[in-house]
Structure 1
Amino acid sequence: MLPKHHRLRSSRDFSRVYKHGKKAVSTHLIVRVYHGDKAQSAQAGPSLLQGEAVTGPKVGITVSQKVHKRAVVRNRLKRQLKAAFRTLLPAIAPSLWVVINVRPGATQCGYGEFLRELEELLTKLEVIHGHS
């Protein structure tokens, strides 16, 4: 599980990433990133930071019922992605917001494949460097 200060929680935050972020697509994942800064966050309203300082990147993970009908499978996919993202946290800028969408067909993926695809997409979006 990721600490609260690393999670996107409100629909307003997700919408901001969808509307203003950059997108990269792979076989099993869609990653959107939004480079927010303190000035934009303070200007945007109380739902973004609620009085807390920017302490690190924030991530939100969505797994639709189109991926799998059973919640237990969707939750397993989310846990694997959170673990993969946690390993990449030190290489990601603190002001970055990331939304990860899981595409249908990802139910056969394991942790290693998610980590590889996530690293590849974040490199493509110039969030991390390819030699990390």
Structure 2
Amino acid sequence: MLNKANRLKKTTDFNRVYKRGAYVVARQMVIYYYPLFIDDGIRVGFVASKKVGKSHQRNRCKRLLRESMRQHLPNLVNGYDLVVVARPPLKEDNFQTVYKVMSRLLRKAKLFQEQR
């Protein structure tokens, strides 16, 4: 579970990230990211639409994404809002695959601290 300070909750925040932010794409997920003007931390929101599957499949996908992000969080740069969107192929993947794909996308977006 992410800390409250690291959760993206408001619809307006999600919409800002979608409309103004950049994104990186993989077969299993899409990560939208938007830089903030303050280095106050990083906030993350997770989305799994009905295209992913039934509710138990969507919930499993979001749990996998949340846990993977929780493990990456200490290594990420501050000052960003992220939205991680699950895609249908994610429901067949295990945690190791999700972790590797997320690492690749975060590196591609230059969100790791060592890349700055």
Q: Same fold (TM over 0.5)?
A: yes
Matched with 1:60 is 45
Query: RMSD of aligned C-alpha atoms?
Result: 1.7
Matches within 5 A, 1:1-132: 1-38=1-38, 54=40, 56-68=41-53, 70-128=54-112
Residues 76, 113 of structure 2: 8 Å contact kept: no
Structure 2 distance, partners of 1:67, 1:120, is 21
Equivalent pair of 1:123/1:129 in contact (CA under 8 Å):
no
Amino acid at match of 1:20: R
Letter in structure 2 aligned against 1:27: R
Identity value in percent? 30
TM (normalized to structure 1)? 0.81
Aligned pair count? 115
The TM-score, its normalising length taken from structure 2, stands at 0.92
Distance in 1, matches of 2:67 and 2:114, equals 19
Unaligned runs of 5+ in 2: none
Q: Letter of the aligned partner of 2:23 in structure 1?
A: K
Q: Which segments of 5 or more consecutive residues in structure 1 lack a partner in the other structure?
A: 39-52
Per the TM alignment, residue 12 of structure 1 is displaced from its structure 2 partner at its CA by: 0.2
Structure 1 residue ranges (4+ consecutive) displaced by more than 2 angstroms after TM superposition = none
